Amino acid sequence: MFDRMIRAARLDRRLYTEVFFDNAATGDAVLIVAGIYGAIYLALVLGSNLGFSVISFIGILLSGLIGWLIVSGGLWLAGTKIFDGSARGATVIRLTGFTHVPLVLLVAAPFVGSVLTDVVVAAALIWFIAAIAAAARVLFDFDTRKSVGSALLAVALWWVVQSIGIGDGLASLIRFF
């Protein structure tokens, strides 16, 4: 699984093609998303005066998983309804789980100082969007323009839904940086 995570971070198209056909990789995707959100929360606790709370930890994990499903749904909607691609929902969910790997960069945010924190957060989000675009390219067999458009629409939907408080795990964490 760690090899796949490294390949996902490198935006390896072969990885996304491999995961596309591996139904068993859905479990790995769940572990990746939960692990990344858990690591970000723990880094925030260690890098600030915020105390650890089991309820907050579980809430962040659940919000992260819900946010993952929202991104997946947004990518599926953009890819199939706007750009006329074709993909099964379960496959989209599996691949977008692996696109969360770049968000591990946020673990560094509490420790780099206030000047660089915004840079780290922005870099993580841009890298995340690039990973979603790489997955969309494989999922829908899109060119770069459609892949990036689908990724941006998926993330835009995610931010809109987070703004009303649904699946706002990452937004909740970023507020502390």
More confident residue, 44 or 30: 30
3-state secondary structure of 50: coil
| DSSP code, position 49 | S
- Tokens 């890298």 locate to 127
Summarize the confidence of residues 116-139 as an average pLDDT.
94
The whole-angstrom separation of Cα 155 and Cα 125 is 9
The whole-angstrom separation of Cα 174 and Cα 53 is 17
| DSSP code, position 82 | I
pTM of the model: 0.90
| Sequence-separated (6 or more) residues with CB below 8 Å from residue 28 | 1, 4, 97, 98
Summarize the confidence of residues 120-145 as an average pLDDT.
95
Share of the chain above pLDDT 90, in %: 71
Count of residues in the chain: 177
More confident residue, 51 or 16: 16
Share of the chain above pLDDT 70, in %: 93
| Token pair of 89 as six digits | 């929902």
State the pLDDT at residue 130: 97
